[in-house]
Amino acid sequence: MQSPPPPYNQAVSMGHTTLMSNLSDAKQWGKSRPVVNTGMNYTPPSSPSDVPTAVSTLLGLTKQLQEMLRHWSMGQASESQVSDAYILVGMQFNATVNAFARYHVDMSDLFYIPTELRNTLELCLGEDPCQRTLDRYMPAVRAILYALLQGLQSKQIPYRKAVDSSRPHSSGSSTYARSPVDDHNLREFRRSG
């Protein structure tokens, strides 16, 4: 089984101990499903080449991470739970990269995302959990996740071309189903702050 790409490994191996409480879970990913006590639902995509499912799951996990940070700021979630949420985002990011790679869509321009997200979370979790801390760091977290969303949206055209070129053409129109990353998702993300 393939290991995560180097940027994710670096994001994990250079992490703060708070964010690394479940590093063994992250390393075991690919061998078995991660067992994480966060109350979040996560099931790796059944097919690693299922790009829409991988992207949709990744977007859902980023929303759960933001929600976990909100709970942490109110004292309703632990640092470990935020860490678990981050690790799930990182693992799903890797699954998404692998899904796109099966269609030869390069994702290397987004490899910085897990590291940047981890660094911001470390700074946030290094402070007392309160609304003021959340107000200070949530804009940076959201900016990173928005960059991820825009990056994923930019991969739609090469992905559609790859899908279309791998299918026999019976007409001039694309047979690709609508992507989970579209303008509606971008508008919704902007509003959900």
List of domains in the chain: 6-17+46-163+177-191 (1.20.1420)
E strand or H helix that includes residue 80: helix 79-101
Q: Is the pLDDT of residue 27 over 60?
A: no
Report pLDDT digits (tens) over 100-117: 999 999 999 999 999 999
Partner residues linked to 32 by β-bridges: 29
Task: Tell me which residue of 67, 75, 70, 110 sits closest to 90, measured CA to CA.
Answer: 110
**Residue spans of alpha helices (H) in 155-180:** 156-165
Partner residues linked to 29 by β-bridges: 32
pLDDT value for 184: 58
Higher pLDDT, 132 or 187: 132
CA distances from 170 to 19, 164, 174, 175 (A): 50, 11, 10, 10
The DSSP letter of residue 172 is S
pLDDT value for 77: 97
The label of the residue with tokens 């796109």 reads: 100
Write the Ramachandran bin of 104: left for phi over 0, alpha for psi from -120 to 50, otherwise beta.
left
pLDDT value for 88: 97
pTM score, two decimals? 0.68
Enter the tokens of residue 139: 């804009």
Q: What is the mean pLDDT of residues 88-102?
A: 95
Report pLDDT digits (tens) over 131-141: 999 999 999 99
